[in-house]
Structure 1
Amino acid sequence: MDFTISPRVEAYRARIADFVDAHVVPLESVPAAYDGHGNISLAELARLRGLARDQGLWCLQLKPETGGAGLDKVGMAVCYEAMNRSIFGPVVFNSAAPDDGNMMVLEKVATPAQKERWLAPIVDGRVRSAFAMTEPHPGGGSDPGMIQTRAERRGDTYVVTGRKWYITGAEEADHFILMARTSDDARKGLTAFLFHKDQPGWRILRRIPIMGPEEHGGHCELLFEGLEIPAENVLMNEGDGLKLTQIRLGPARMTHCMRWLGLSKRCVEIARAYAAERHGFGIRLADRESIQLMLGDLAMRIEIGRLLVMKAAWALDQGSFARKEVSMAKVHVANLLHAAADVAIQINGARGYSTDTPLEWIYRYARQARLVDGADEVHKMVLNRNLETEGDAFWSWPVGA
């Protein structure tokens, strides 16, 4: 792959960086800018979203005909990294999970009528969305084949019963994509459905408290007690649910990694600034070899993460599912984010552990990275399966014509 980016992508990156620096980062030190769950308040979010839209920085990941800028995955990697220099960044540009992944999969597979009904309001920023797949034991988590929630067809309607939990954004969502079992077939047993929050037959049991700051709408447990979904709200076809998860989750995992790289770089930025000004025992922290080793190691690990992400993004742009590349990037960058926050806190000392910087926010947030969209161990298991199948070809390079 060619690591040069187009002038157009660079222009977007620079504009995003300027926007984040001028409008978003300053809010991190304003207590009133936070909601009760550690995220940006909805009032401030609405204001910044208006600015982002006015400046042409809205939904860059979507096609122009959908309302975006048509960036490919490589361009997204560059821009998403810049967006997440701030803890509040991605949602301002309508590029945060779960809306981000939901919009991209709806753009790719929904019918024109479904796009008008379910996608356009998310693109416009009028509603938020959620992706309801994960279930309590013995249901499905990293393995969608274990999903227990059932959708029984009755004429032109499906009736849904079951439970979901840790559904990100559910409390603020209007539009939902739901994964449910329509048969016991191992490959064609799952189906994806669309439903609206106001439809009867389901409810939120609780907003589950978590260790870190929360996305808007939290992480919720849902109960389905006869939710009726018209057949016209099936995504793709009955039995295509597993295929839809593959279409959605690979790119969604990558966008997480793109954003996490931005947060990792922010940790280094805060650590370097403090080490440059803080003295102890007659010497700057930045002049101590131990600090230099910490920061040099993080710089290298961030660059490794950027290379893994770029390779995966490039492979996705070539039409591949890029399962190997996505898994390697996901494991590396998730662990990198946690390490970057930890090292930055260590360098900042008590200041890093306080709320005077966003480091403690990032640290609490970072721990989930090794769990969401597949735990480290699941991705390593996938990589080993590829190794067993491919042998030395696991490390082969694509050969041009």
Structure 2
Amino acid sequence: MDFTLPPALEDYRTRVRAFVSQEILPIEADRANWDEHENIAEAPLALLRAKAKAAGLWALQMPRELGGQGLPFVGLAACYEEMNRSIFGPVCFNAAAPDDGNMRVLNQVGTDAQKKRWLMPIINGDVRSAFAMTEPHPGGGSDPSMIRTKAERKGDRWVITGHKWFITGADAAQHFILMARTSDDPRKGLTAFLFDRDQPGWRIERRIPIMGPEEHGGHCELIFDGLEVADENVLMGVGDGLKVTQIRLGPARLTHCMRWTGLAKRSLEIAGDYVKERRSFGTTLAEHEGVQWLLGEAAMQIEIARLLTMRAAAELDRGHFARKEVSMAKVQVAETLGKAVDTAIQLCGARGYSRDTVLEWIYRYARQARLVDGASEVHKMVLSRAYLQEGDGFWDWS
């Protein structure tokens, strides 16, 4: 079993790593480049995005004929990990959520006309996008069958009413994918609609304050009170909304994992540099056995997380849904990210708790990992069902 990257993918990985080191980390280090929501400000972001395009590192996940680089999931796993060595990395390469997942599903199931209208502006970096699915109770969250937002047919239009919340990126998005109910059929009752920010019939009720730093556009509550969408802006077909969510969310969960392993490694990198330098009781902290236990455990858990992520990526590249593999990676990486940054803060002491490093940023950000795109408990339910169905086949090597 060979985990060596093919030369072409290794070349991309090393170039992404060098770009992060030489271009992004110096920008990150100067807080004047941060916006009020603790993300990279628009002016330095635009500069870095232009450089990433010039370097041939733009939109690695998209086909070459659409302006991307056409990398397989295995290559993306290696490159996305390197991107998120910086807290600002993925967005500079057009690889950040939710645009990453939205581009992928639009490319996979959109018509040629939909790709031209809705996808290409996101690939080009001209607009941002959002995926509007989650609703307040008693609406849908991890269980999309509970979605209550309705789309009703009126003439040649669909008229949408409902309520969404925690919609990532909505405050900065121009293009939206919206999940709404078009019938009571348990399997064919949902439909995915495309709409533009400038259309009437909806509004952002509020940008919801959160514990951690925010993605561009925050996490918003949306009200739909008569949004009209034409048939040409139905994604796939009427009643295919559940398929759209399945096609989008599986790979999107895994790309989260790819990025989070980069943050976990960055956390340990900061701690490792500090304990090799800081002296206590006559030796460096790195020479203390207790410190070694903490570092060794965190490093091992990160490697387990990386291997599970790469296994799931390889399954996706083989054309499989990889539900089991993605769920295992999602649980492991989410928990590992929290453990890695917590360990790093402990080893760095007051310096880690301060804002002299980005550890406190990563710590606050990391807590969402066990919630977004399915809580860890939901993924463990998926794994339990798979085991009960497969028995010993759960561990099959094929």
TM category (shorter chain) comes to over 0.9
Q: Distance in 1 between matches of 2:191 and 2:343?
A: 44
Equivalent in the alignment of 2:16: 16
- AA of the residue aligned to 1:274: Y
- AA of the residue aligned to 1:149: T
Equivalent in the alignment of 2:311: 311
Q: Distance in 1 between matches of 2:376 and 2:132?
A: 21
Equivalent in the alignment of 2:335: 335
Q: Distance in 2 between matches of 1:12 and 1:180?
A: 39
Q: Distance in 2 between matches of 1:276 and 1:393?
A: 45
Equivalent in the alignment of 1:140: 140
**Are the equivalent residues in 2 in contact too, given 1:66–1:107 (CA < 8 A)?**
no
Equivalent in the alignment of 2:370: 370
1:260-290 CA distances to partner (integer Å, 9 max, x unpaired)?
A: 0001000110000000000011111000011
Q: Distance in 2 between matches of 1:115 and 1:394?
A: 38
Equivalent in the alignment of 1:382: 382
Equivalent in the alignment of 1:58: 58
Equivalent in the alignment of 2:46: 46
Equivalent in the alignment of 2:258: 258
- CA drift of 1:4 comes to 2.0
> Any idea what SS the aligned residue of 1:158 has?
strand
- CA drift of 1:154 comes to 1.6
Q: Distance in 2 between matches of 1:57 and 1:386?
A: 38
**Are the equivalent residues in 2 in contact too, given 1:213–1:365 (CA < 8 A)?**
yes
Within 5 Å, give how 1:67-82 maps onto structure 2.
Answer: 67-82=67-82
Q: Distance in 2 between matches of 1:263 and 1:26?
A: 17
Q: Distance in 1 between matches of 2:103 and 2:262?
A: 22
Q: Distance in 2 between matches of 1:175 and 1:194?
A: 7
- CA drift of 1:28 comes to 2.2
Within 5 Å, give how 1:62-211 maps onto structure 2.
Answer: 62-211=62-211
> Any idea what SS the aligned residue of 2:76 has?
helix
- CA drift of 1:31 comes to 1.4
- AA of the residue aligned to 1:150: K
Aligned length: 398
- AA of the residue aligned to 1:130: A
Q: Distance in 1 between matches of 2:126 and 2:237?
A: 27
**Are the equivalent residues in 2 in contact too, given 1:135–1:147 (CA < 8 A)?**
yes
TM-score normalised to structure 2 length: 0.99
Structure 2 residue 224 is the aligned partner of structure 1 residue 227 = no
1:290-335 CA distances to partner (integer Å, 9 max, x unpaired)?
A: 1111111111111111110011001111111100000000000000
> Any idea what SS the aligned residue of 1:313 has?
helix
Q: Distance in 1 between matches of 2:353 and 2:213?
A: 15
- AA of the residue aligned to 1:179: M
Gaps of at least 5 residues in structure 2 are none
Q: Distance in 2 between matches of 1:297 and 1:113?
A: 51
1:186-217 CA distances to partner (integer Å, 9 max, x unpaired)?
A: 00000000000000000000000000000000
Q: Distance in 2 between matches of 1:61 and 1:230?
A: 29
> Any idea what SS the aligned residue of 2:52 has?
helix
> Any idea what SS the aligned residue of 1:148 has?
coil
1:236-258 CA distances to partner (integer Å, 9 max, x unpaired)?
A: 00000001111000000000000
- CA drift of 1:340 comes to 0.6
Q: Distance in 1 between matches of 2:187 and 2:254?
A: 24
Q: Distance in 2 between matches of 1:5 and 1:154?
A: 53
Equivalent in the alignment of 1:345: 345
- AA of the residue aligned to 1:394: F
Equivalent in the alignment of 2:270: 270
> Any idea what SS the aligned residue of 2:220 has?
strand
> Any idea what SS the aligned residue of 2:105 has?
helix
1:45-102 CA distances to partner (integer Å, 9 max, x unpaired)?
A: 0010011011111001111111111100000001000000000000000000000000
> Any idea what SS the aligned residue of 1:125 has?
coil
- AA of the residue aligned to 2:373: D
- AA of the residue aligned to 2:101: G
- AA of the residue aligned to 1:275: V
**Are the equivalent residues in 2 in contact too, given 1:29–1:356 (CA < 8 A)?**
no
> Any idea what SS the aligned residue of 1:50 has?
helix
- AA of the residue aligned to 1:47: L
> Any idea what SS the aligned residue of 1:65 has?
helix
Equivalent in the alignment of 1:283: 283
- CA drift of 1:2 comes to 3.8
- CA drift of 1:29 comes to 2.1
- AA of the residue aligned to 1:249: L
Q: Distance in 1 between matches of 2:112 and 2:128?
A: 20
> Any idea what SS the aligned residue of 1:176 has?
strand
| RMSD of equivalent CA atoms | 0.7
**Are the equivalent residues in 2 in contact too, given 1:28–1:358 (CA < 8 A)?**
no
Q: Distance in 1 between matches of 2:166 and 2:352?
A: 29
> Any idea what SS the aligned residue of 2:267 has?
helix
> Any idea what SS the aligned residue of 2:66 has?
coil
Q: Distance in 2 between matches of 1:333 and 1:166?
A: 22
Overall identity of the aligned pairs, in %? 68
> Any idea what SS the aligned residue of 2:225 has?
strand
> Any idea what SS the aligned residue of 1:327 has?
helix
Structure 2 residue 297 is the aligned partner of structure 1 residue 297 = yes
Moved over 4 A (4+): none
